[in-house]
Amino acid sequence: MSRALGPDDEGPESDDTRSARLWVPDHPDGSGWADVDWASVARGSRYHYRHAADVAAARAAQPSHYRVVTRLESAALRSHENSYYVPRDRLADFLAEIALVGGAEVIWHVEPCADPPAESMPS
């Protein structure tokens, strides 16, 4: 069984050494499939993983905004969809806000949006 290096060992593990010890990918390119075992909603399914670019390169490849479409289902109102144009650096916070306090308004889908409409007053 592997163990983390301690104070009597030769030095700290590099990120690559730690990754190799903790994760054995299915394919030589570092990708594969793994069982979802941490979330009750997705439990029993599988997710795909892969090595990722460094965060600066990954952010540079993202669109400037995302269109987040929500759907409102309520006995008091006719069903409808809302589209929000969210800057990439605020997407995670926006999704968390809708998920936690959106009430009858639920996330329907999320898509890249390179050029949000002027009416959305994107920031």
Asked if 81 and 108 touch (Cβ cutoff 8 Å), the reply is yes
Report pLDDT digits (tens) over 82-114. 999 999 999 999 999 999 998 999 999 999 999
Q: Where in the chain is the domain with CATH 3.10.20?
A: 62-120
Q: Which helix (H) or strand (E) holds 60?
A: helix 55-61
pLDDT score, position 1: 35
Distance CA 80, CA 65 (A): 22
pLDDT of residue 110: 99
Domain 62-120 has CATH 1.10.10: no
Tell which wins on pLDDT, 34 or 87: 87
Burial class (CB within 10 angstroms; exposed 0-12, middle 13-18, buried 19+) of 63 = middle
The mean pLDDT of 20-35, rounded to a whole number, is: 82
Give me the pLDDT at residue 4, please: 46
Q: Which tokens is 81 given? A: 């969809």
